[in-house]
Amino acid sequence: MIQRTNNLTILTMTLDVLSRSVPFHAEWTFPDRVLRTTAPRRDQYCSDLITTQNVRDLILALPWNVLAGLISFEVTVDDRLGFLIQLYSAVAIQDLIAHWESTHRFPVTPAEISDDPYQAQFVVEGKNRRSHAGARGKKILELFLFAMREGKCDLDLLLDPFFLHFPKLTDEVT
């Protein structure tokens, strides 16, 4: 699939082409992690640690804040590119939690979801954050494609973690 992408011109790149031709490969961003194709068995993790109180404590610790401030763009650029960079920065900050959750997942069983309203809400909110972050990311990517066509930025922008970090459910990392 990647070989097809290198034959494209910037004028023919679209979101559809990129989403089909440049799949997320977790091992590129997280080489020490193993891809997970199925949910882990209960003997593969300490299910006793996944309690309502532990999940609350984890959320209150705001672990995604370690990702804040990683934007590598200078926001001193004017015109359309400056606007795009500001928008990118705002969306990246808005989606810090979804970014963190996409690489730090833990299993919550259907039984835990049905028994515990907090766990159920946690799972639903995570899915919503992931979905909305992906939609915002596609809008930003579309704007960057316009900027690339105008010669305002290069293709290496596609390697930015913002565009690589939302794996599909089938590409989850542990």
Query: What confidence tier does 174 reach under pLDDT thresholds 50, 70, 90?
Result: very low
Inter-axis angle of helices 52-60 and 117-149, nearest 10: 40
| Residues listed for the chain | 174
**Token pair 């290496």: residue:** 156
H/E stretch holding 62: none
Plot region of 69 (φ>0 → left; ψ -120 to 50 → alpha; else → beta): left
Rounded to an integer, what distance in angstroms lies between the CA atom of residue 44 and that of residue 60?
A: 26
Residue 61, Cβ neighbours under 10 Å: how many? 9
> First vs last Cα of the chain: how many Å apart?
25
Supply the DSSP string of 145-173, one letter for each residue. Answer: HHHHHTTSS-GGGGGSHHHHS---GGG-B
Task: Write out pLDDT tens, residues 6-36.
Answer: 556 666 667 666 665 555 555 555 555 555 4
pTM score, whole prediction: 0.63
Which pLDDT score, from 0 to 100, does residue 100 have?
80
Which pLDDT score, from 0 to 100, does residue 114 have?
92
Which pLDDT score, from 0 to 100, does residue 63 have?
87
Task: Write out pLDDT tens, residues 34-84.
Answer: 554 455 666 777 778 888 899 899 889 988 887 766 555 556 666 777 777
Q: Where does residue 24 rank: exposed (0-12), middle (13-18), buried (19+ CB within 10 A)? A: middle
Parent domain of 116:
2-171
pLDDT, mean over the chain: 72
| Structural domains in the chain (count) | 1
Which pLDDT score, from 0 to 100, does residue 102 have?
75
For residues 129-136, average pLDDT? 85
